[in-house]
Structure 1
């Protein structure tokens, strides 16, 4: 048996998810958000299918180059970057960058003269599991000024973009972003060529319903109306989450203050960072225990000595009443933001390993 914990990743599901995304958004350039899962086999598969890539660091740039992603298909989506980051990207052939500040526009003018620049808008990301809380983006008035500044310092004011927040379940969030972009265009007088719709495309977690990709696409299409810029999107979770199952082992079951606690050999620091604040509630499966077996509520905790390493206290997590040490608990839909979040050795525990279960041969999508 393979070691526990581990992430089992089915690449055939990644391929299916990518095809599904392209079917729902046939006129959108999908730029995979590398941070969701940077496994080399995932990157190579998506590169072979013709996907673009959304980068945030030199490490992600190098990983994409090794995977065969063409530089013309890369966009540097992080608006916070060092001069050395920009120099490395330019040297590799990357020419599309996102910005949201005057200082960063000036940095790009010095290090990437003539580059295509997309200004990131701040949007209302209510409805998302992990909102950005004002970390990135500017209002339309400031975005208009940045477009003009980019033009004046020799850059190409290529586009506008926004991000509706991760695991966004409200399709109207994309509509609000499009409306802000329209206002920025009107205020600037710049004929932008591209609109980046960001990421946030949701997958099923917990018991709540999430909108389909087709519902989101319909809302976006209706809001765009007759405005038809080149569209880019940055799916991450939507492409890889359902491909992953995080396999864990029960270490201890005990009672504390009248509640049943279940401790696993995986926790917040081994890949389940998105359980912070119980933002993401994973669907759980217990192999060897029939679905009809009696279940009861638990507090689910990780193995480390850190008091914050508790996954769920408030969520209605029900596990078999006869669960015992050595039993397996599987986290479904865990292909995104798990292995990439795992620590490299907190409490002496090793990084979360990934086991590839399928290696399909992709048919490359023609340009």
Structure 2
């Protein structure tokens, strides 16, 4: 398997990053800020009518937050700790939504006291907490959607409720003095099947109509979550194609008078900006006659690559070594048997790959530093450099 870096970075960009990498000891992550800026500009060009709420959990670095703040982004927040980080760099609370449906009542109160007035929910208990701790706020109800089989990182089951329950929650919200504002869904992270947005938007349309006709409640917003892809091994359609199709789905159901549209990108904004640089620690075979090499590297599942669990996300790996390749198993450095990134999906790496050679894991700007353990086996958290 030969990775062409020009498929992931402009040549001069990769050369600049590699020159920087040569001066630093592995493992570490490099983030190219211009790539994030370009991704934001592309998304706003494709969806000029939408409000972008960056999902901070994808990469919560202050450098990323400040860059997107200056671009005009809003922010989707999952905890009081993310909230503090975003507020502390001067983001107005009107640009913030509390998108986590699993939250303590005292955390809701904290958000409310900081000025946040837009909250996600998917259960009666949570809704009642919001009514007490954040009176008069706008709420949007997250519904269950399909798409788990076509998303590389599914987000179904744990979040969202059945559309019938959503109707009940909106009615209760009005009774509790909250503002029934909109519906949200998430079709799964790294979603490759664009048609799943069609089914989700159709569900939203039914909820809008039933509430207005039967209960006199007019909803004003659709939060379509994230799901737009990054550039991993398994290629996807372009963002332009996603936008064309999704806008067509919206207009088929809502006509030209669209409600307010919110997008919550995380992966698609930051993933392509990252290169995780690791070093080969060991190359070994398990027996005298084994035809399979194991390549152990100084990063693994517990130091940023947790999304290789079940081999879900397949990161492009570039190496300087050239020549004939052989399928390998790639594993991390810790004393945990689960610390194997790729065993069934066979990566091909050069036969002359040796100890101290470097592996460049491309498209690793999302969910690497935020998933990196603190001191598992004593290894420190993943270092990050912003260029």
TM-score, normalised to structure 2's length?
Answer: 0.90
Q: CA deviation at 1:188?
A: 2.2
1:232 aligns to what?
A: 262
Q: In the alignment, does 2:176 pair up with 1:153?
A: yes
User: Which aligned pairs between 1:324-343 and structure 2 lie closer than 5 A?
Assistant: 324-343=354-373
2:189 aligns to what?
A: 166
1:244 aligns to what?
A: 274
Q: Work out the CA distance in 2 between the residues paired with 1:91 and 1:273.
A: 35
2:302 aligns to what?
A: 269
Count of residue pairs the alignment pairs up: 353
2:218 aligns to what?
A: 191
Q: CA deviation at 1:50?
A: 0.5
8 Å contact kept, 2:221–2:261:
yes
In terms of mean alpha carbon deviation, does 120-129 or 339-348 score higher? 120-129
**SS of the residue 2:346 aligns to:** coil
8 Å contact kept, 2:156–2:188:
no
Q: CA deviation at 1:68?
A: 2.3
2:52 aligns to what?
A: 30
**SS of the residue 1:85 aligns to:** helix
Q: Work out the CA distance in 2 between the residues paired with 1:80 and 1:273.
A: 22
Q: CA deviation at 1:116?
A: 0.4
1:336-367 CA-partner distances (Å, limit 9, x unpaired):
0000100000000000010112xxxxxxxxxx
2:238 aligns to what?
A: 212
Q: CA deviation at 1:200?
A: 1.0
Q: CA deviation at 1:67?
A: 2.4
Indicate which of 310, 320, 327 corresponds to 2:350.
320
1:93 aligns to what?
A: 115
1:19-48 CA-partner distances (Å, limit 9, x unpaired):
011111111111000010011000000001
1:61-99 CA-partner distances (Å, limit 9, x unpaired):
011112222110101000110012111111111100000
User: Structure 1: which 5+ residue stretches go unaligned?
Assistant: 358-367
1:307 aligns to what?
A: 337
8 Å contact kept, 1:37–1:337:
yes
2:14 aligns to what?
A: none
User: Which aligned pairs between 1:38-77 and structure 2 lie closer than 5 A?
Assistant: 38-77=60-99
8 Å contact kept, 2:144–2:162:
yes
Aligned Cα RMSD in Å? 1.0
2:377 aligns to what?
A: 347
1:189-216 CA-partner distances (Å, limit 9, x unpaired):
221111000011101211x321221222
Q: Work out the CA distance in 2 between the residues paired with 1:46 and 1:67.
A: 11
User: Structure 2: which 5+ residue stretches go unaligned?
Assistant: 1-22
